[in-house]
Amino acid sequence: MHTATFKKPLAIAIASASLGLAGIAGADNHSLEERLAELEARIAAAEQRADAAEQRADLAEQQAEGRLLPDEVEERLARVERQASGEEGFSFNVYARSGLLIGEDGKSAEGGPYVTPAGSLGGAVGRLGNEPDTYAEAIFNYKMRFDNGAKAHYRTMIADGTTTSNDWTAAESNLNVRQVYAEFSDLPSFTGAFENASIWAGKRFDRDNFDIHWMDTDFIFLSGTGAGIYDMQLADSWTSNFSLYGRSFSDFPVTRESPGDDSGDTDNLILTSNNYFGNWQWMVNGMSAADNDERDIGEGQEAAESGFHTMVAYHGDSFFGLGEGNYKAAVLHGQGLGAETKGIGARGDLTEDATATRVGLYGTTYVAPRWRVAPAILAETSEDRYVDGDQYDWATLNVRLANELTQNFEMQYEASYQWMDLDPQGFDGRTAVEGDYTKFTVAPTFKPQVGGFWQRPEIRLFASWSDWDEELNDYSAGDAFGSDEFTGSQWTFGVQTEVWF
């Protein structure tokens, strides 16, 4: 029998049988989301088995024709199985969003999760029906397994973002290589506390970052170029990660005795200890940026040369103990360079006396078989941030609600409220303001299959209404508020796709 004739029916048979078993398994007492997640996992496994079956059929035919010895068949078959399970070989992952955000006048509208005056401080609001950009990440992975059992994972991530609607955007492009690193695990020479540890080096996002997707904001975002070790087992219920990241503060204005030297640069080195005790997480970060205190941040001000940051978080496996679902809660505090509480070590223009404290939590659950809800709260207070005596306080409440009407259609709703009291003490020409921002969005949404908070891809239409106190228009000449025809009580409309796999 010819290989092409044999492989296809075999692959289809395996996939069909697996799908049938998945349907039977759905009759248990798990939640709807868990059953759908299980079904999706079984479908993916069936596809992998089907592909592996095709390759096994090809090997069997080659052996029958005398082209392969039995040992060669076994060796190649083992590799096929590892590739089918994702343990070896090439894989490709994507995150992308793209769409139009149009105002009442038919023109492109201002928007974004950080559109408010508090946005420059990390004060995100809801992202549904509020994104005017095209952003895409392409992640290329290659995994290897060696004869001694050791594993290696290589990753490159390329990303680009733009707000133009044109098909050719090279002039506006922000194409960037965001990650390039290698990670080794299952190393046979690692024993004791390091037996299950993995080591890495390169440019990357930390593995244990986590976020509030509906607000497009991270609880914590650690990234840069460096090296680290994950999953050291320091005690029965204590695992720990250590890393050293570097971030560059380059070409900043300085004040030096030498009149011809008016710019400088330094690296902010971030030493991190990230510890897990069951559902609890305790993270500690120390920062040092030599010569950053020479940065010119205004007369009488001194930029921070060091910093401290810590976070205590809880990763819940229920909806705040009230039912099925999950939740996350965290308290973060930073001083000096650590006062940028979300993007650790990302800013060099903080004063040596800067302090900031942030709290955040969100949860997800089904309130009825076809209704799911995801509330979130995020707030921060900081002082002496950019100049002595400044004070920035803000808080956001966001709720995403979805009604799954058919297998391929749901209605999504989002409400956001943000309060802010910002006193920049004249920093960057900004004015002290206090006020509220409110946004409501309705979004009819199409999906290949509904079910669960993380089911993508989707295509959504939307209409959003947003309003804010007039005083907020005077905060800064550089932000969107108060710009032409963007002064409050705004309607925006559009369409957007969001994809990840």
pLDDT digits (tens, 9 = 90+) for 444-471: 999 999 998 999 999 999 999 999 999 9
For residues 256-263, give the mean pLDDT. Answer: 53
Cα within 13 Å of Cα(51), Cβ side: 13
pLDDT confidence of residue 258:
46
Confidence class for position 485, pLDDT limits 50, 70, 90: confident
pLDDT at 16 over 80: no
Q: What is the pLDDT of residues 340-387, one digit of tens each?
A: 999 999 999 999 999 999 999 999 999 999 999 999 999 999 999 999
Cis peptide before 132 (omega within 30 of 0): no
| CA angle 372–113–321, rounded 5-degree value | 35
Only one residue has tokens 């996350």, namely: 328
Confidence class for position 166, pLDDT limits 50, 70, 90: very high
Q: What is the pLDDT of residues 195-205, one digit of tens each?
A: 999 999 999 99
Strand segments (E) across 254-370: 263-277, 280-289, 306-316, 326-336, 355-368
Cα separation of 230 and 444, whole Å? Answer: 42
Confidence class for position 84, pLDDT limits 50, 70, 90: low
pLDDT confidence of residue 82:
64
Q: Which residues contact 242 (CB under 8 A, 6 or more apart)?
A: 228, 229, 232, 271, 272, 273, 274
**DSSP letter assigned to residue 19:** H
For residues 182-200, give the mean pLDDT. Answer: 97
Cα separation of 114 and 110, whole Å? Answer: 11
pLDDT confidence of residue 298:
84
pLDDT confidence of residue 348:
94
pLDDT at 24 over 60: no
pLDDT confidence of residue 43:
59
pLDDT confidence of residue 259:
46
**Among residues 84, 33, 23, which one has the least CA distance to residue 56?**
84
Cα separation of 113 and 132, whole Å? Answer: 10
Confidence class for position 484, pLDDT limits 50, 70, 90: confident
Query: How high does pLDDT run on average in the chain?
Result: 87
pLDDT confidence of residue 134:
96
Model confidence, pTM: 0.82
